[in-house]
Structure 1
Amino acid sequence: MHFRTFLTVSTLASATLLRAQTATATVELDKLEINAGKEAVFSLPLDSAPASGSRLGLANRDLPVSVSVITQEVMQLRGLRTAVEAVEAAVGMTGGTQFGSIPTYSTRGFGSNSVSVMRDGIRQNTASQSSRTVDSFLLDRVEVLKGPASLMFGEGAVGGAVNYLSKAPSPVARGEAFVSAGSWDSYRLGLGWGGPLPLGTKEHPVTARVDYSHNETAGYVDRNAQRYDAVAGALAWQATDRLKLSFNTTLLKDWNESYYGNPVVYDGVINTTIPGNTNVEVRTFNNATDRMVNPRVVAAARTTNYNILDNYAKTENTFSRLRAELRLTPDLELRNEAYVATQLLKWRNLETNTWNPVTKLVARSSFLHIYRDDVLAGNRLDLIHRGTIAGRPNRLIVGGFFERNDLTRGGTPFGLPTTASSVSLLNPAETSGPGDPDYFMKTSKVLIETAAFYVENALDLTNSVKLIAGLRHDSIDLRRDTLVTPANPTFARYRKSYSPLTGRAGVVWSATKAVNLYASYSRAAEPTTQLVSFTATSNDFALQTGRQFEVGAKGSLADGKVDFTLALFDIEKNNILASTLDPVTGLRVSQQIGAQNSRGVELAAGFSPADGWRLEGNVAWTDAWYGKFAENLGTGVISRTGNTPSNVPEWVASAFVVKRFPGGFALNGGVRYVSDRFANNNNSVIAEGYVTVDAGASYTWHDVTFTLRGRNLLDEEYQPVAGTTMWRLADPRNLELSARYTF
């Protein structure tokens, strides 16, 4: 299957904010140049301007929120192969792959669709609908904005937002080639080049960038082969002294034999709804009421895959942007951006395999065909003014956008069974699934149109105090048309509209020349479920709301040898769906009366004690709980108030050290700790905490760097994403040998 191609044509005009405005700003730029080496190679780039934190081009140290930046150089140094591994390098972030091949993230007590995932600022859909594994070779950096992010990225993102940013054209010709081979027949290839083209002139240059990556593995589990191919291209043209045009596009293609996890074997269950109960019952586990007795993954079944033989998940995704930046006057700039994103996904899997302690067999169910054909198109226009208010420097952006997300959804054809026969734990019968593996029944068309208006302003109240605030208003219109005959005709067509108002306000105080203190308040809005899945049963539900208070510090100490960030946060998410009993009828009903809370502390620091040394570490403590929440058990309602949400660790900590020796040798290593997490709202299933250790040794000869890297050297058996009756375990101990050539 080939990539779909498309052409986006738009008449555009705009310009980015200039970092230098006055003589004072010029001094700041000199400081940036001095620190350029440190900013690129190590984390905590406090003087860079993350695109995910503000549209005003503010330096990270001047933002009243937490933004982690993981550069391409950091990815190379630490051997971070995918965007998921890069994100986990940020303070307080956990991530992994679940649902066959979909990455997911958790931070500050929230996960799943509460953490938005974007590509160059484009969010194709919620994470569980469109997120795919991305090779880190294609990325310039990964940015992680912590806490409510609706000001920047619209509905969703109460917990945070992850933004994958592509490599940009280079004014100087340079290229790189990368190859690696590792355990389980794994190998990666990467080839990229950027530089000026002969089409331009010295005054009006044309620059370009092109990259290709291939990532393939047989997987440590049986029948878990994976392939990821991607190509990215970018062009930039300084058309006039005032106008710059740029275009970039990325095409991704992946194919997977899916592994959903190992069935958890247990001896029996204990009903936790009975106080003091110790009676062990030999029956299947109930996630809402039970605790397993002696849960485990049998070592002999560690690499067994219980999926059907003809399972697969394959996608083709594209992301393209056409951007214009126009300086109207020295103080006024216009920026316009048109973008298109597409997704074509076909998915055929048997997704559930659970242990039955009575039959001593593995029960298999949840046979699904999934089809998605999505086209997202939009246009954003920003006007930026840099001037003064009452003689004080001020930066203002006023902007808006309109986008249309046209989605076609499909599922399992009528008449096909959703379950398969039970199989032996150690010797499962390998069979193909029912029906035509290439046939998908299209079930609905969904159209989501969003128009937004936003304003953001940064005012220097004094030489040491900045006031930064922004507001955003969205108008969201959703239409869903059923393509198959529904049982209830009223469900054939569905309409819904939302108009959330979100924003952020903060103050930054330069306590010293090198240390800033800040405080902020932010708000977000999030649907009760992903918008594309809304039906008439969702009609009475409003958007969930989230708010965050955050205070912190960012700065450098010991003459720039130590960089640090410190953040304390408090988040509350309201209007969560919870179950109650109608006092008149006694029927179970869903109402938006639930709340989820979290509070915590995050600290990250980097230290250069001597030439050739770099030490970095971060630690995050999170206390998360349901402020008010109840679940429908089918036979009644049970309160979860005070329980911890699933997949939220109390502690996440990591440390990394690198030592460079004369002659081109270098050693590096890292350790990461994630504490216990609950796997269900009942808090009866615990995913045990884990410690992983990675290490690498490299040698640079001329323009080639050879690296031998070991991962999970302790051979820890752990779950990146907590599961209940199925544990999707991480890779065991493995090795990789790589070579990188720069030219």
Structure 2
Amino acid sequence: MSFPSPYAAFAASLLVTVLPSLASAQTGEDRSAGSTDDILVTGRRQVDLTVPNSTGSRLNLSPLETPATLSTIDGNTIRARGDVSVNEATSRAPGITSVANLGNGGTALAARGFSGQGSVLQLIDGIRFFPAAGTITFPSDPWMVERIDVLSGPAAVLYGQGALGGAVNVLMRKPNTRHTDVDGEIGYGSQDSFHVAAGAGGPLDEHLSYRVDGSYRRSDGYVDRGQSRSYALSGTFRWAPTDRLVVTVRDDYGNQNPMRYFGTPLIDGRLDHDNRDRNYNTRDGHVRYRDNRTSLQVDWQPSETITISNQAYRLTSKRAWLNLESYCWVAADGFCPNGANDVRATPGGIYRTDMTGIVHDQTQWGDQGSVTLKTRIADGVTNDVVAGFDANLVKLTYSHNFGADPQVSVVDPFVFDPGVIVDTQGIAPRYRTRTNEYAIFAEDRLKLGEHVSIVGGIRYERDRIRRWTIDSTVAVPTESFALDKRLGNTTWRVGTVYQPVPTVSFYAQYATGVDPLGTLTTYTTGQVQFSNAKGDQVEAGAKAVFLGGRGTATIAAYRIVKKGLLSQLTPTSPIEQVGQRSAKGIEAAVSLDLPAGFGIDANGSVLAAQFDDFVSGERSFAGNTPPDVPETTANLWLSWTATPAVQARAGLRYVGRRFSDNANVFRIPGYATVDATLSYAVTPRVAIDVHVYNLFDKDYAINSYGAQQWVLGRPRSLDVSLRAGF
């Protein structure tokens, strides 16, 4: 098969040429005879509750010491399971579900009764993203991931506004400072999918180490004209001139052309298997995301009690798409339940409209610094405190063709000419914004003896958004000032942890949070009179490590209330203000490494989410379930290392029913899918993996794009990979 781009050829040559040469340079001390454990991922690796974790606390507490729910998914486990995106891997965490579609960059999540980029924050190496119009597109490739941490519930004290439902922190792979690691994989599967990835890292001398990775993916997709391709590159240098000073420079790049698929319209209110693989977009529709992150981090420990850290960074995001996005079935009375109720067409067709072109050009500069001080107050009493700041500048130029001819057409549901885009207006810059964010924060832990600790934190954040309207209809585009909005928020949390023994903890916490009005960087004149949405959470739970470290278990109960929420269902619909919504629920997880090579990872959540006070126009939606919120979820992974060379995995994902509208008229049924993997270690360093996705070929919807336009998941698929690690 031929490679569609030189980047794929580069990645393949790295895999088949560089890997063996780097592997041969390793010493017997670095990699002696070894065992198949190095290629067949067994055990929980770094998800132990006793391992310090900086996502749930800036004091680098372990999950057992943190009064909140913190889940970790190890990168090696992600790759062993065969997850093909960061979103897919993250949605296996307790209480997390995907609500991804092209409009949100394929990355949006739901957690604890809240959904979208404005309530479930996404970070990379502890640094927050500022989405443009609810869209985040980076990172996407799980090859680059060291681990994914999920902090459930309000995380504003740590990371700022936009995290009432939780925060997801993707930590990228870092250099190994002890020996050289080389790994790679190449695979082919259903839908003509192909992927190749490789990476290498290790010490260059006593003080300098590195890590480089490259990945390429392509597929024909599971709908007509569903081609996609992407590649990702990253490089890291770590310089440690002394034991107390570390300087890390990193650059990550992603280029995605995802499947140009906006969903499948229901026919007579039902999913028709006969149009399961139809794509109602035009043949020339296009979507492209390009993201680049560069960072410089300095960690200095001048003494045993003081640590100073600072990370400066720059993130550029360029996104562009032009597509025909909305489709609905024309019923016998000519009514289109997707909202186009004035369709004048012969019933029985698919009404296509909403020709939309958008370009995002966004750059984020930022700096985050902190100082940590550890103090012994008295015998058995210690205090750890961290104080720091965040500063960000986000520049966005937003281009679109809103107001152009919507390009309406009605086509046969099964056989039709997809046509091409006819854009009479063109995509041009319409406005630009400048968003400044400044914040100061502090966190403290007072430990009273061996069993009790109190953890608290506070953050003050100041945001300023300025917007200019751009008139691109004239020969020389002109700008006019539109708004200058300033927002200030103070959030805090306090919790206590009781550990009767070092491996068991009980905790309780109260936390506050703030969510933006839509998206901070695309603030409009219609939002100027509103304040941010505010919320709080009460949570209590227990965590334990048992069976000599081979088992872990967590359980948490919570209630979150959010007030003053504004929502906008589509870019053209009016802004709605929700007086109050709430969610309460229980989450639990257990992980076991059992004798005879068996392992179990299971989690589940049950919640009740509702609008407590929500009036839109003259209609009250109080008591209804908010859209995109499943009230039951579960994940189960079983693994069995049958012999030192053979391993089998099976995973069940269950997502309960959801609604796609505030009135709860349109329901998306729940679903359960099963994935399976069989791995065979040809040698201690080389393995063959067979991944089967959606084993029972279930038709199901990941999300909706409109009330009755479902974004369907992948049908049954088979992928075969060759994987090597040295």
Output the amino acid matched with 2:690.
L
How big is the shift at 1:429? 2.1
Work out whether 1:216 is the aligned partner of 2:218. yes
CA distance in 1, matches of 2:444, 2:638: 39
Work out whether 1:385 is the aligned partner of 2:388. no
CA distance in 2, matches of 1:110, 1:382: 30
How big is the shift at 1:697? 1.2
Output the amino acid matched with 1:738.
S
Work out whether 1:493 is the aligned partner of 2:463. no
What is the correspondence of 1:286-365 to structure 2 with a 5 Å cutoff?
Answer: 295-357=269-331, 358=334, 359-365=347-353
Q: In structure 2, which of residues 52, 55, 60 is the aligned counterpart of residue 57 of structure 1?
A: 60
Who is 1:704 aligned against?
686
Who is 1:82 aligned against?
85
Can you list the C-alpha shifts for 1:459-497, whole angstroms capped at 9, x where unaligned?
10221001111100001011001112799x998421100
CA distance in 2, matches of 1:123, 1:330: 29
Q: In structure 2, which of residues 162, 167, 172 is the aligned counterpart of residue 166 of structure 1?
A: 172
- Taking a change above 3 Å as real, the CA distance of residues 544 and 503 of structure 1, as seen in their structure-2 partners, is same
CA distance in 2, matches of 1:560, 1:122: 31
Gaps of 5+ in 2: 8-39, 335-346
Output the amino acid matched with 1:329.
S
> What CA RMSD, in Å, does the superposition of the two structures yield over aligned residues?
2.5
Work out whether 1:420 is the aligned partner of 2:408. yes
Who is 1:719 aligned against?
701
How many residues were matched structurally? Answer: 662
Q: Give identity over the alignment, percent.
A: 28
Can you list the C-alpha shifts for 1:574-598, whole angstroms capped at 9, x where unaligned?
012489xxxxxxxx99785611100
CA distance in 1, matches of 2:410, 2:274: 18
Output the amino acid matched with 1:340.
R
How big is the shift at 1:310? 1.3
What is the correspondence of 1:36-75 to structure 2 with a 5 Å cutoff?
Answer: 41=44, 44-75=47-78
Deviates more, 1:671-680 or 1:142-151: 671-680
How big is the shift at 1:162? 1.2
Who is 1:685 aligned against?
666
CA distance in 1, matches of 2:366, 2:467: 20
Work out whether 1:103 is the aligned partner of 2:107. yes
1:491–1:535: 8 Å Cα contact kept in structure 2? no
CA distance in 1, matches of 2:154, 2:391: 21
What is the correspondence of 1:364-383 to structure 2 with a 5 Å cutoff?
Answer: 364-383=352-371
- Taking a change above 3 Å as real, the CA distance of residues 682 and 592 of structure 1, as seen in their structure-2 partners, is closer
Who is 2:657 aligned against?
676
1:43–1:606: 8 Å Cα contact kept in structure 2? no
How big is the shift at 1:126? 2.7
CA distance in 1, matches of 2:693, 2:607: 27
TM-score scaled by structure 2? Answer: 0.87
How big is the shift at 1:49? 2.5
Output the amino acid matched with 1:67.
L
The list of structure 1 runs, each at least 4 consecutive aligned residues, that deviate by more than 6 angstroms after superposition, is: 37-40, 588-591
- Taking a change above 3 Å as real, the CA distance of residues 365 and 218 of structure 1, as seen in their structure-2 partners, is same
CA distance in 2, matches of 1:621, 1:690: 15
Q: In structure 2, which of residues 429, 451, 456 is the aligned counterpart of residue 469 of structure 1?
A: 456
How big is the shift at 1:345? 1.3
TM-score scaled by structure 1? Answer: 0.85
Who is 1:180 aligned against?
187
Work out whether 1:729 is the aligned partner of 2:712. yes
Q: Secondary structure at the match of 2:126?
A: coil
CA distance in 2, matches of 1:322, 1:2: 29
Work out whether 1:445 is the aligned partner of 2:419. no
Q: Secondary structure at the match of 2:80?
A: helix
Q: In structure 2, which of residues 579, 582, 591 is the aligned counterpart of residue 606 of structure 1?
A: 591
- Taking a change above 3 Å as real, the CA distance of residues 126 and 40 of structure 1, as seen in their structure-2 partners, is farther
Work out whether 1:537 is the aligned partner of 2:526. yes
Q: Secondary structure at the match of 2:157?
A: helix
CA distance in 2, matches of 1:82, 1:577: 30
Can you list the C-alpha shifts for 1:362-399, whole angstroms capped at 9, x where unaligned?
11111111111111001112111111234521111110
What is the correspondence of 1:459-608 to structure 2 with a 5 Å cutoff?
Answer: 459-484=446-471, 492-577=481-566, 592=577, 594-608=579-593
- Taking a change above 3 Å as real, the CA distance of residues 477 and 40 of structure 1, as seen in their structure-2 partners, is farther
Output the amino acid matched with 1:342.
T
1:50–1:69: 8 Å Cα contact kept in structure 2? no
2:355–2:406: 8 Å Cα contact kept in structure 1? yes
How big is the shift at 1:104? 1.5
Work out whether 1:122 is the aligned partner of 2:124. no
- Taking a change above 3 Å as real, the CA distance of residues 413 and 504 of structure 1, as seen in their structure-2 partners, is closer
1:68–1:144: 8 Å Cα contact kept in structure 2? yes
CA distance in 1, matches of 2:238, 2:259: 39
- Taking a change above 3 Å as real, the CA distance of residues 149 and 38 of structure 1, as seen in their structure-2 partners, is farther
CA distance in 2, matches of 1:578, 1:719: 23
How big is the shift at 1:71? 0.7
Q: In structure 2, which of residues 199, 202, 216 is the aligned counterpart of residue 195 of structure 1?
A: 202
Q: Secondary structure at the match of 1:720?
A: strand
Who is 1:246 aligned against?
248
Who is 1:664 aligned against?
645
Deviates more, 1:121-130 or 1:81-90: 121-130
Who is 1:23 aligned against?
none
1:40–1:73: 8 Å Cα contact kept in structure 2? no
Q: Secondary structure at the match of 1:532?
A: helix
CA distance in 2, matches of 1:241, 1:669: 43
CA distance in 1, matches of 2:439, 2:362: 21
CA distance in 2, matches of 1:331, 1:663: 45
- Taking a change above 3 Å as real, the CA distance of residues 2 and 410 of structure 1, as seen in their structure-2 partners, is farther
Output the amino acid matched with 2:493.
R
Output the amino acid matched with 2:612.
G
CA distance in 2, matches of 1:369, 1:105: 24
Q: Secondary structure at the match of 1:700?
A: strand
Q: Secondary structure at the match of 1:184?
A: helix
- Taking a change above 3 Å as real, the CA distance of residues 461 and 412 of structure 1, as seen in their structure-2 partners, is same
How big is the shift at 1:523? 0.8
1:253–1:316: 8 Å Cα contact kept in structure 2? yes
1:604–1:618: 8 Å Cα contact kept in structure 2? yes
- Taking a change above 3 Å as real, the CA distance of residues 491 and 419 of structure 1, as seen in their structure-2 partners, is farther
- Taking a change above 3 Å as real, the CA distance of residues 577 and 324 of structure 1, as seen in their structure-2 partners, is closer
Q: In structure 2, which of residues 607, 612, 619 is the aligned counterpart of residue 627 of structure 1?
A: 612
Who is 1:741 aligned against?
724
CA distance in 1, matches of 2:83, 2:645: 21
CA distance in 1, matches of 2:711, 2:243: 55
Q: Secondary structure at the match of 2:549?
A: coil
How big is the shift at 1:329? 2.5
CA distance in 2, matches of 1:629, 1:659: 49
How big is the shift at 1:671? 1.4
2:517–2:567: 8 Å Cα contact kept in structure 1? no
Who is 1:652 aligned against?
633
- Taking a change above 3 Å as real, the CA distance of residues 381 and 457 of structure 1, as seen in their structure-2 partners, is same
1:169–1:235: 8 Å Cα contact kept in structure 2? yes
Deviates more, 1:58-67 or 1:426-435: 426-435
- Taking a change above 3 Å as real, the CA distance of residues 315 and 715 of structure 1, as seen in their structure-2 partners, is same
Deviates more, 1:209-218 or 1:676-685: 676-685
CA distance in 1, matches of 2:257, 2:424: 18
Deviates more, 1:478-487 or 1:388-397: 478-487
1:518–1:553: 8 Å Cα contact kept in structure 2? yes
Q: Secondary structure at the match of 2:526?
A: helix
1:340–1:378: 8 Å Cα contact kept in structure 2? yes
CA distance in 2, matches of 1:62, 1:117: 23
CA distance in 2, matches of 1:570, 1:257: 38
Output the amino acid matched with 2:64.
R
- Taking a change above 3 Å as real, the CA distance of residues 39 and 145 of structure 1, as seen in their structure-2 partners, is farther
- Taking a change above 3 Å as real, the CA distance of residues 102 and 231 of structure 1, as seen in their structure-2 partners, is same
Q: Secondary structure at the match of 1:130?
A: coil
